[in-house]
């Protein structure tokens, strides 16, 4: 159950991200704000990896692992650029719920590409999340 603790930490940090980023993109272009955020994340992640003595493992990253990490990085970059631009154009309280539609997309992709099973409870939760996100849209 340790994963659940990290998942809740992730959710709390992601929730704070929307509000902090909304203020951060107020006076600069969204792409520049994304670049600054990315630089901070890079330094932060490298500091943690270095402190844990994991930097030497970088030599072992190749082939399929490297390909999928690069693709994941590109997807993250696209997501962040679009997210910051959306925050410049709309209230955080509208952007964040739509951004969380990544959950049903992840669940479907995990089922189709990774063979993960979908329980009735999971499907119901995903449907409720989609409905909740759609309810946040303004007319």
User: What H or E segment, with its residue span, contains residue 138?
Assistant: none
Tens-digit pLDDT string for the chain (139 aa): 898 998 889 889 988 988 999 999 999 999 999 999 999 999 999 999 999 999 999 888 999 999 999 999 999 999 999 999 999 999 999 999 999 999 999 999 999 999 999 999 999 999 999 999 999 887 6
DSSP conformational letter for 1? -
Looking at the whole model, is its pTM more than 0.75? yes
* Residues 75, 12 within the same domain: yes
> What is the predicted pLDDT for the residue at 138?
75
Query: Final residue of a domain: which of 72, 91, 110?
Result: 91
pLDDT confidence of residue 116: 96
- How many Cβ atoms sit within 10 Å of the Cβ of residue 82? 14
Q: Are residues 38 and 70 in the same domain?
A: yes
Both 87 and 104 in one domain: the answer is no
| Whether residue 124 sits in one domain with residue 104 | yes
Q: Are 10 and 62 within one domain?
A: yes
Regarding whether 11 and 35 lie in a shared domain, the answer is yes
């Amino acid at each position: 159950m340790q994963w659940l603790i990290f998942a809740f930490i992730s959710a709390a940090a992601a929730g704070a991200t929307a509000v902090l980023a909304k203020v951060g993109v107020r006076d600069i272009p969204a792409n520049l704000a994304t670049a600054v955020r990315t630089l901070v994340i890079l330094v932060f992640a490298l500091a943690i990896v270095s402190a844990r003595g994991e930097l030497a493992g970088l030599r072992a990253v190749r082939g399929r692992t490297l390909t999928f990490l690069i693709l994941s990085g590109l997807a993250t970059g696209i997501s962040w650029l679009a997210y910051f631009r959306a925050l410049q154009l709309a209230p955080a309280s509208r952007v964040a719920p739509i951004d969380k539609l990544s959950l049903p997309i992840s669940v479907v992709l995990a089922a189709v590409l990774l063979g993960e099973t979908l329980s009735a409870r999971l499907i119901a939760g995903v449907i409720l999340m989609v409905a909740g996100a759609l309810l946040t849209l303004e007319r």
